Amino acid sequence: MNLLAIIGGTGLGSLKNLEITRHQVVNTPFGEPSGPLTFGTLGGSEVVFFARHGYAHRIPPHEINYRANLWALKEVGVKEIIAVAAVGGITPRMGPAVLAVPDQIIDYTYGRKQTFFEGELESVTHIDFTHPYSGAVRAALLDSARTVGVEVVDGGTYGCTQGPRLETIAEIRRMERDGCDLVGMTGMPEAALARELGLEYAHLAVIANWAAGKNGEQEITMEDIDRTLKEGMRKVRLILQQLLENRATAG
Ligand code: HPA
């Protein structure tokens, strides 16, 4: 079975039932990852856990060293990645505490190191990104969610903003016109870098709040986000546990 990594975002700084076997610090040609990798078993299956924002949750989305993070995972033999991410909901089916496995991405970020293919290259490389997420990892997530009876929206477009501030009402209106269903800050360049390294990658998005202007004029507070994420992450843990049990059975 391919080695799987779970990247935890806001609200998922650790995996409660993970039996930790070891931590590994990985140095990369692109600098330091957000922290050491945590190896362990969950549901009878080996898994690598990694906290995108660092274990103390101190690295903001625009300062994450995405290249070092993905490189480190590849370096230790990871082949598949489930990236958990807190997002805002834009379209009607994406309300607070809903889970989604998006199938498309629009990238609004800027100034991030977004490729491994630069500098002294032997040739120019353009990865295919028609379908930005791994079909196999998406299917495994949706299948496990079905088994444990957690409703998950299958599909949707994830719009990635620069952050760390949240968006204006007009920005969300524009994103909705563009076709975005969800808005987050960490999905890119993470997904593209995974593709560049040949890693199978999919998002499990947890909607923390209605995006700006989608709940009347109401402002978005961190307290509301944290409260909703608690409920959402409970469902995430159920899905991940099932998915790892399935992998253990499959051998
Ligand atoms: N916008 C961007 N990122 C987010 C949001 C949001 O409303 N909620 C959680 N992550």
Question: pLDDT tens for residues 193-210?
Answer: 999 999 999 999 999 999
The 10 Å CB-count burial string (b at 16+, else e) for 127-149 is eeeeebbbeebbebbbebbeeee
- What is the average pLDDT score of the chain? 95
pLDDT given for residue 42 in this prediction: 92
- How far apart CA 47 and CA 40 sit, in angstroms, is 6
Read off the pLDDT band of 95 (50, 70, 90): very high
- How far apart CA 140 and CA 2 sit, in angstroms, is 13
**Residue written as token pair 């049990």:** 245
- How far apart CA 79 and CA 63 sit, in angstroms, is 25
Mean predicted confidence (pLDDT) in 229-245: 95
Atom of ligand 1 minimally distant from the CA of 220: 7
- Pocket test residue of 158, 181, 183 for ligand 1, highest count of atoms within 8 A of CB: 183
- How far apart CA 122 and CA 178 sit, in angstroms, is 36
Burial of 86 (0-12, 13-18, 19+ CB in 10 A): buried
**Residue written as token pair 């253990």:** 248
- Kind and range of the H or E run holding 103: none
The residue nearest atom 5 of ligand 1, judged by CA position, is 88
Ligand 1 mean position to 166 CA, how many Å?
A: 6
Which residues sit with their C-beta closer than 6 Å to ligand 1?
86-88, 161, 166-167, 183-185, 208-209, 211, 220, 225
Query: Is 3-116+127-239 CATH 3.40.50.1580?
Result: yes
The residue nearest atom 6 of ligand 1, judged by CA position, is 88
Burial of 174 (0-12, 13-18, 19+ CB in 10 A): middle
Ligand 1 mean position to 183 CA, how many Å?
A: 6
Mean predicted confidence (pLDDT) in 32-49: 94
pTM > 0.75: yes or no: yes
- Pocket test residue of 185, 222, 226 for ligand 1, highest count of atoms within 8 A of CB: 185
74 Cβ partners below 8 Å, 6+ apart? 197, 199
DSSP 3-state of 171 = helix
- How far apart CA 134 and CA 44 sit, in angstroms, is 23
Radius of gyration of the chain (CA): 17
- Work out the angle at residue 189's Cα, subtended by the Cα atoms of residues 186 and 193, and round it to the nearest 5 degrees: 130
State yes or no: pLDDT of 229 exceeds 90.
yes
Beta strand 78-89 with 152-154 is unpaired
For residue 218, what is the DSSP state? P
CB-CB contact of 32 with 68 (8 Å): yes
State yes or no: pLDDT of 251 exceeds 80.
no
